[in-house]
Amino acid sequence: MHLLFSNQIKLKEKFKHPFVGLSLQETMAKLLYDKEHKLAEGLKKDFKVPERRFWLLKINILAMQRDWNELEKLGKN
């Protein structure tokens, strides 16, 4: 948990948004929602999040945003 907390402190300082107290899933979702895909992928790697779980989260966020172009790109990979 210490690693998550320290990452959330850094994110709070960088984006001026509250990240502290969020779960790992919520933190990655917030980053994906803010189009910070690289940072979300960094957390995925640091915490060994399964690919399937991460991709489902990413697909859900993109669908909520109605970002059909990005979803299409994901489908082609």
Provide block-wise average pLDDT over 10 residues at a time, the chain (77 residues): 84 86 94 94 96 96 94 85
The pLDDT assigned to 42 comes to 95
Number of domains comprising the chain: 1
What is the reported pTM?
0.86
Q: Measure the CA–CA gap between 18 and 9, rounded to whole angstroms.
A: 9
pLDDT for the residue numbered 37: 93
Whole domain around residue 60: which residue ranges?
21-76
Residue 10 counted as domain residue: no
Distance CA(66)–CA(41), nearest Å, equals 21
Identify the residue whose tokens are 């994110």: 11
51 in any annotated domain: yes
Nearest to 28 by CA among 61, 69, 73: 61
Cα 30 to its chain centre, rounded Å, is 6
pLDDT at 1: 57
Neighbours of 25 (CB within 10 A): 13
